[in-house]
Structure 1
Amino acid sequence: MSLSRCLLFEDGFPARALHLNDPACTGTVRDGRVEFHFNNDDQQCGTVLRANNTHFIYENSIQGTTDSAEGLIISRQRQLNLQFVCEYPIKQNASMDMAIHTLTSVIHQKLPAAQGTYQVQMTPYKDAGFTQQFSGNVTGQAEQTLYIAVDLEGVDSRQLSSVLDSCWATPGNDSASSITWDLITHQCPNPEDGTVKVLRNGVSTSSRFSFRMFTFAGASSQVYLHCSLHLCPLEGNSCVPNCDHAVHQHRDRRSADYQDNITVGFGPLLPDKNTDVLDVLAPLPKRRSPHL
C-alpha cells in the first residue's frame, strides 16, 4: 500500500508519523511515495483476518497523529486513519473435462482481482500411511483398497482448512453424469458403501479417504473419481464434520449447495479384461449400485 508523500506533507503528515496497525510497521519513502509492506506470514503488521459467508477478509489501516502546537498549552492535533481490506472468495468452482496421462491432477485457480492463486491436486496411494505413491499406471485387483489424497497448496494452512463435501464415481469423465456412485456425501462416508473411510477432513489443507475399487454393472468399464470441497477458516469455526450420527439424505449434487465449490477428479480406472485388474491411467478433473 502506498500514498503520495507530497499530499501527505501538504496535509501536515510527515512520513515518519505514519504506521500500520502495528506501530513498528512504518513506511518507506521511495520515488515520491510512502510505501507500507506487509504479508500474512512473518510480517503481518497487525492485519486481522475475519470471514463471512462468501469471503475471508484481511483488514489493516494506515494511521498517524501530528500536533502543530506541540509543547504549548493548546493542541492542534490532526489524525489520519485510512482503513483497507483484501478479500478472497471462500468457494470456487473448477473441473477438468478430459483424462490426462499423468499421476496427479492439478488445477490452477486464479482468484478474482488477480491477487492470489492456489492449487488443488488429487493423488492415489497404495498404502494407508500415504507413503507409496503410484508411479505410472495404477494397478490393483478388484476389491483392493485405494487410498486418495486431496491436497491444497498456496493457501495459509495455519488459518484455513479444506473440507471434502462430496466424492463420487462415474463411468465417464462427466462429473454430472446421471450414472454415479457416491463415496462421500455431506462430508461423511456413504452409508450404502461400507468400504469407504474418511481418514482426514477439515483439520488441514490435506484430506484423506479410502475405498475398495469396483466397476459399474451394465455400464462403461471405465470409472472416474470426482470430489467437491470448500475452504474453511479455522479460527472461530468448527471445520471438522461430525459423522457419528450423520443422517445422509441423497440430493442432486448439482443443486445450489454445491455450485460454488471446487471440483477435482481423476481417472479413468480401467479393468483388465483378462486378469480383472483395475488400471488408473490418468488423473482428471442417481446413484446406481456398482458391481463390487
Structure 2
Amino acid sequence: MKILQTLLLALCTLLSVHATTQTCGGSVNCTCDLSKYNSSVKPPSPTINCTNGVMTVYISKCQLEKSLFNTSNLALLNNTDPDCTSTDYLVDGEVQVGFHNPMSSTKCGNRLQVNATYAIYTNILHIYPEQHPVMTRNNATANLTCIYPLTYHTALNITLKPVSGNTDISVPGVTGTLTVYMTVYTDAQFSQPVTDSTTLTVEQTVYIEVVMPELDANQFNIKVLRIYATPGATDPGAGQVYNLTSGPDGCPDPTYGVGLISVINNGNGSSARYSMSVFQITNQIFLNLYSDITICNTTCAVNCNQKIGKSYTPESVATVNVALVAESDPTSGATGRFSTSWTLVSLISLLIAKFM
C-alpha cells in the first residue's frame, strides 16, 4: 500500500512540474520550499505579459515570503473589483501571486495615456512587508505598463476557405498582441458567416465586418480607410488593384463603387461594417478583398454624404483580407458568368492604374 501511495505521489509531482499554469487553491503542490531561496531586502521583480487586452502580472510568492514580504496583501491601485484581486498560481513549477488585469481605463485603477502613436496603460503594484515587532523592510511599489500602438502595418493573406482570418500584431518592447478579423456574412444581422459550403452569386448582397474584439471600445474606434480587390491570388503589390472605396474615409469610389458597396458604420466602435454586391473580375474565378484600417483615440465616424472633421491618412495601417468565389445566377439576369452591369465594370476596371 505504501508503494502505491509513493507512486501516486510521484505521479502527481511529475504532473505538477509539467503544468504550465494552474491555480493553487490549497494544493500541496503550491507550497513553498524556502530553503531554495535567498533572503533580500527588496522584493522580486514581477513579470508582465500584455496579451488579448489583459495585463497578466506574476510575482514569486516563495521569494516574497523568504524576503519577509506579505503575500496576502499585494494590491493594484484599485482592488475593489473581484477581477483585480490576486490569486496563487503554479507557473512552470514555481508558486506565483498573479493578477489578470483587463486593459480598460475603468478597471483596477488603470491609467491611460494617449499620444500620436501609442496608447499606454499603467498601474502600480503595492508590496508590503510582513508585520513584526521589529520591521526590517520598507514598503515597495512596482510600476506596471502595457503599450499598444494606434496604427499598424501588417498583412493577412488567406485562401477562400475559410473566409475569416486573423493576424497577431506585435507591440515593440512589450509582449502584447491585438487581433484583427475580417469576415463576410450573408445576412444583415451579421450572424451567418460565409463558409466553404456557401454559394455566392453575382449581384447577391453580402455583409463585411472588420473587427478588433479586444479593443477598448470606451476609448478607441476602428476605422476602415480603404477597401479594394485583386483578381485571383494576386498580391496587391504585384498585380491589378480595384478600389471599391476612395479617399481616407472608406467611402464608395465615385468611379464605380457607388451602388456596389455601402457603409453601414465606420469609425464609431470596435467594428466597421459594409454591405456589398457580389461581383467578379473578368476571366477570374477568385476575388480577394482587402481592407486597410487604423485606430482612432477620438471619434472618427464617417458620413459619406457629408465629411465630418478633417480626414487624414496614417503613416501605417493594418491590412486584412478575405477571398471569395462568385457564381452566376441564371435567374438574376446575368449573362454567362457575369451580369451585364458588372461585365462593364470589370472592363473599365482593367484600365485603371494600380493604386498601392
Tell me the TM-score normalized by structure 1. Answer: 0.67
The counterpart of 1:226, out of the listed 258, 272, 290, is 290
User: Match of 1:207?
Assistant: 272
Percent of pairs identical after alignment? 21
Shift in Å at residue 134 of structure 1? 4.4
Q: Distance in 2 between matches of 1:28 and 1:147?
A: 43
Is 1:289–2:354 an aligned residue pair?
no
Q: Distance in 2 between matches of 1:240 and 1:260?
A: 17
Shift in Å at residue 169 of structure 1? 1.6
> Which secondary structure does the structure 2 equivalent of 1:223 belong to?
strand
Q: Distance in 2 between matches of 1:197 and 1:53?
A: 30
Larger helix share, 1 or 2:
2
- The answer on whether the counterparts of 1:27 and 1:34 sit within 8 Å (CA) in structure 2 is no
- The answer on whether the counterparts of 1:140 and 1:277 sit within 8 Å (CA) in structure 2 is no
- The answer on whether the counterparts of 1:40 and 1:47 sit within 8 Å (CA) in structure 2 is no
- The answer on whether the counterparts of 1:148 and 1:210 sit within 8 Å (CA) in structure 2 is yes
Change (3 A) 1:271 1:86: same
Change (3 A) 1:146 1:80: same
Letter in 2 for 1:261: A
Q: Distance in 2 between matches of 1:215 and 1:15?
A: 63
Q: Distance in 1 between matches of 2:140 and 2:243?
A: 56
Tell me the TM-score normalized by structure 2. Answer: 0.57
The counterpart of 1:161, out of the listed 209, 214, 221, is 221
5+ residue gaps, structure 2, are: 1-56, 339-345, 351-356
> Which secondary structure does the structure 2 equivalent of 1:289 belong to?
helix
Change (3 A) 1:81 1:242: farther
User: Match of 1:109?
Assistant: 168
Q: Distance in 1 between matches of 2:126 and 2:237?
A: 51
- The answer on whether the counterparts of 1:122 and 1:265 sit within 8 Å (CA) in structure 2 is yes
Deviations 1:3-24 (A, max 9, x none): 4668768988644665221155
Q: Distance in 2 between matches of 1:100 and 1:211?
A: 17
Change (3 A) 1:45 1:153: closer
Q: Distance in 2 between matches of 1:30 and 1:215?
A: 54
Q: Distance in 2 between matches of 1:4 and 1:109?
A: 29
Deviations 1:210-269 (A, max 9, x none): 23344446x646432211123344xxx11323434449xxxxxxxx94644232232344
Is 1:261–2:261 an aligned residue pair?
no
Highest relative contact order (Cα 8 Å, sep 6+), 1 or 2?
1
Shift in Å at residue 36 of structure 1? 4.7
Larger strand share, 1 or 2:
1
Is 1:238–2:294 an aligned residue pair?
no
Number of equivalences: 264
The counterpart of 2:111, out of the listed 27, 48, 52, is 48
Letter in 2 for 1:207: A
Shift in Å at residue 109 of structure 1? 1.6
More displaced, 12-21 or 183-192? Answer: 12-21
> Which secondary structure does the structure 2 equivalent of 1:197 belong to?
strand
The structure that has the greater radius of gyration is: 2
Change (3 A) 1:10 1:99: closer
Letter in 2 for 1:188: G
Change (3 A) 1:179 1:258: farther
Q: Distance in 2 between matches of 1:133 and 1:26?
A: 38
